[in-house]
Amino acid sequence: MTGGRLVRLAESARAPVEFIFDGEALTGLEGDTVLTAILLSRRALRDAEFGPEARAGFCLMGACQDCWVWQEGGARLRACSTPLREGMRLRSAPGGTQWPGPPADAERDRSGDSA
Amino acid sequence: MTRVLIIGAGPAGIRAAETLAAAGLNPVVVDEAARAGGQIYRRPPEGFTRTPEKLYGSEAAKARALHATFDRLVAEGKVTHLPQRSVMALHGGTAHVLGETRQEIPYDRLIVATGATDRLAPVPGWQAGGVYSLGAAQIALKAQGVALGRRIVLAGSGPLLTLLATQLVASGAEVAAVLDTAPMRQQVRGGLRMALARPWVTLRGLRLRAALGRRYHAGVTLTGIESDATGPTAMAWRDAKGRDRRTDCDTVGLGWHLRSDGTIADLAGAAFDWDTDFAQWLPRADPLGRAGEGLYLAGDGLRILGADGAELAGRAAATACLQDLGLPHPDPARTLRRLGRMHRFAQGMMQAFPWPAQMVRDLPDTATVCRCEGISAGDLRGTLPLSGPEANRAKSLGRVGMGRCQGRYCQLAGAEIIAAAAGSAPRDVGRLRAQPPARPAPIGAWLNTPAEGEAE
Ligand code: FES
């Protein structure tokens, strides 16, 4: 099956936001989370570390950590609770040798959900 | 002035803040969301245009009132709101908080209103990408205006199953089937207790159910989720008459009502007891929510009473706090009476939509229990001769509960499987203790940045 996993049902009159995922230019809308924006064009966020299946998030409330993706700079972020920003450069896997830990500096585990 | 820290800005945290502010205190509210409201009254990002009526249906007026109350308190400077921050640890009267930066917030009294997450039972194949919690599907719809797939099967039990299905259908999503593991007989029995406590709310639930028509099936056993490389392709299930059936789909939502998130309460020193009605561990507290020296609990993190109950519990916890400080406080009698009614309703609901204990006990060895690290029921059963039937030992040897969700989604199923092998009950297996950090945190956040002092 081609195309994304998610379907927009409402709120489609928002400004477009361009970003890069695994080297490809994609477009989301202002107010999308990173998870929403990626899964509107893709079936999954990344591969699983411990099995053959793909990962596409699970709880969407910051509790399960299933939705990690990486910035090209190396920082890991939680896709379900990180707002999409113009020009973000994202990857489905960490770059270099840092697997699975985050780099020691720039990471910001920003969230968008209640405690 | 006494420094009161409230963790969580859902219905309970907001009403607690309001009650404290009315007594002249200036509480600090830490919350993970950008905008206050909690899960059920979650607000979409700025710039979204659907009305509360569209988002919250019959509960729109309550959502509006709650949001407006909190926004006004913050605007008037009576409450300090620290959004987009997670409490990672509590130590010696200081909360270690992580957001854009690391912060240390000292407090004299603590009100924990951290809510609940979906209660999950494993279904063979649930590790596929494209299987979500029911709560996830609702958040996607409310906060983002999206459906998580093109053809969705919803399965599990509890009020959210029906509510979410009707919300998705009304928004134009394709819901292929709604599979309730609760047998109809049991639903009728619990439903009568629910109707006695809150007839109007019960009636509303029945109306929603009727709107689902032939999509809805009660007394179902879920046998497995089939998938290919792109995600789920079908849900296999057995109907109440024992016939094997199969529903094509590309997305599955699962959930069996809610599980109180006790992580922060545990770190704050609360004790826990197994609750037979709610079939899970719940923190120990007095009727107003006192759970220890200067520690108060409220909302679904204390007792799963839903949003209306959480508003009451937030008021109750703040009232207890004011009593203990010797400050003028509202009379709690009416709040306690109403909480009692909420509790009776919730007990009926737990009876109507029970945890699927037998289904979990019958999981095949190949079924994944821990989604985070791919640990199967067989792996866990294989650990037991070494670890014995105790959850924390089985966790350290078998890693169930050790993954990055920190046991939130596998703990109850793990306990059920251990209990089945030992011929005991989940309550005998013990509760997984919470460890800081309360969320997986990048080590660099702790090592490289000096903490900021108290927020002003
Ligand atoms: S999907 Fe669970 S933390 Fe993002």
How confident is the model over B282-325, as pLDDT tens digits?
A: 999 999 999 999 999 999 999 999 999 999 999 999 999 999 99
Supply the pLDDT for residue B234.
98
Polymer length of chain A: 115
Polymer length of chain B: 456
A100: cis peptide before it, omega within 30°? yes
For residues A84 and A19, is the Cβ–Cβ distance under 8 A? Answer: yes
Range of the domain at A62: 16-114
* pTM of the shown model: 0.90
CATH for A50: 3.10.20.440
Q: Give the strands of the sheet with B4-7, arranged side by side.
A: B80-82, B28-30, B4-7, B109-112, B295-297, B290-292
Give chain A positions within 8 Å (CB) of B136.
57-61, 80
Question: How many Å apart are CA B371 and CA B390, to the nearest integer?
Answer: 21
Q: Please give, rounded to a whole number of angstroms, the shortest distance from the CA of B40 to a CA of chain A.
A: 10
Percent of chain B having pLDDT more than 70? 95
B450: cis peptide before it, omega within 30°? no
pLDDT at A115 over 60: no
* B368 interfacial to chain A (CB closer than 8 Å): yes
Is A34 a domain residue? yes
For residues B348 and B190, is the Cβ–Cβ distance under 8 A? Answer: yes
**Which of B70, B62, B33, B9 shows the shortest CA–CA distance to B299?**
B9
Q: Please give, rounded to a whole number of angstroms, the shortest distance from the CA of B43 to a CA of chain A.
A: 10
**Which of B202, B204, B147 shows the shortest CA–CA distance to B176?**
B147
**Which of A26, A51, A61 shows the shortest CA–CA distance to B120?**
A61
| B192: phi then psi, degrees, rounded to nearest 5 | -65, -40
Residue with tokens 């109907």: B239
Is A1 a domain residue? no
**Which two tokens mark B113?**
């209103």
**Which two tokens mark B208?**
């929603």
Residue B374 identity (one-letter amino acid): G
Report CA(A34)–ligand 1 centroid distance (Å): 11
Upper half-sphere CA count for residue B225 (Cβ side, 13 Å)? 29
Is A8 a domain residue? no
Q: Which of A30, A53, A67, A98 to mutate to test the interface with B (most CBs of B within 10 A)?
A: A53
Asked whether the beta carbons of residue A11 and residue B144 sit closer than 8 angstroms, the reply is: yes
Residues in contact with B105: Cβ distance below 8 Å, sequence separation at least 6, in sequence order: B5, B28, B30, B82, B94, B95, B97, B454, B455
For residues B386 and B398, is the Cβ–Cβ distance under 8 A? Answer: no
Asked whether the beta carbons of residue B404 and residue A65 sit closer than 8 angstroms, the reply is: yes
Give chain A positions within 8 Å (CB) of B150.
7
Q: Which residue of A has its CA nearest to B233?
A: A1
Is A30 a domain residue? yes
Question: How many Å apart are CA B31 and CA B35, to the nearest integer?
Answer: 9
**Reduced 3-state DSSP string for B395-434:** HHHHCCCCCCCCCCCCHHHHHHHHHHHHCCCHHHHCCCCC
Supply the pLDDT for residue A113.
39
Question: How many Å apart are CA B371 and CA B122, to the nearest integer?
Answer: 9
What spatial distance separates the first Cα and last Cα of chain B, rounded to whole Å? 13
pLDDT in tens, A3-51: 899 999 998 889 999 999 999 999 999 999 999 999 999 999 988 766 6
For residues A90 and A78, is the Cβ–Cβ distance under 8 A? Answer: no
Domains and CATH numbers, chain B: 4-117+259-348 (3.50.50.60), 120-256 (3.50.50.60), 358-424 (1.10.10.1100)
Is A10 a domain residue? no
Pick A7's closest partner by Cβ from B147, B408, B447. B147
3-state secondary structure of A76: strand
For residues A70 and A22, is the Cβ–Cβ distance under 8 A? Answer: no
pLDDT at B453 over 70: no
Give chain A positions within 8 Å (CB) of B255.
none
If you average pLDDT over every residue of chain A, what do you get?
Answer: 82
- Banded model confidence at residue A108, pLDDT cuts 50, 70, 90: very low
Query: Averaged over B49-70, what is the pLDDT?
Result: 92
Cα–Cα–Cα angle for B330, B334, B340, nearest 5°? 130
Asked whether the beta carbons of residue A64 and residue B444 sit closer than 8 angstroms, the reply is: no
Q: Which residue of A has its CA nearest to B36?
A: A114
Is A39 a domain residue? yes
* A50 interfacial to chain B (CB closer than 8 Å): yes
Question: A39 CB under 6 A from ligand 1?
Answer: no
For residues B368 and B126, is the Cβ–Cβ distance under 8 A? Answer: yes
Contacts of range B414-418, beta carbons closer than 8 Å, 24 or more positions apart: B414/B369, B414/B370, B414/B380, B415/B391, B416/B357, B416/B360, B416/B361, B417/B360, B417/B361, B417/B363, B417/B369, B417/B377, B417/B380, B417/B381, B418/B380, B418/B384, B418/B389, B418/B390, B418/B391, B418/B394
Query: Averaged over B338-367, what is the pLDDT?
Result: 95
Distances (CA, A) of B378 to A90, B384, B423: 37, 10, 17
Q: Please give, rounded to a whole number of angstroms, the shortest distance from the CA of B259 to a CA of chain A.
A: 12
Residues in contact with B113: Cβ distance below 8 Å, sequence separation at least 6, in sequence order: A115, B6, B7, B8, B9, B10, B12, B13, B16, B297, B298, B299, B301, B310, B313, B314, B317
Report CA(B132)–ligand 1 centroid distance (Å): 10
Supply the pLDDT for residue B132.
97
pLDDT at B119 over 80: yes
Question: How many Å apart are CA A87 and CA A30, to the nearest integer?
Answer: 12
Supply the pLDDT for residue A106.
37
* A41 interfacial to chain B (CB closer than 8 Å): no
Report CA(A61)–ligand 1 centroid distance (Å): 6
Q: Residue A90 forms beta bridges with which residues?
A: A21, A71
Is A48 a domain residue? yes
- Banded model confidence at residue B428, pLDDT cuts 50, 70, 90: confident
Query: Averaged over B382-395, what is the pLDDT?
Result: 80
Specify the number of domains making up chain A: 1
Supply the pLDDT for residue B439.
75
3-state secondary structure of A81: helix
Supply the pLDDT for residue A111.
37
For residues B182 and B157, is the Cβ–Cβ distance under 8 A? Answer: yes
pLDDT at B100 over 80: yes
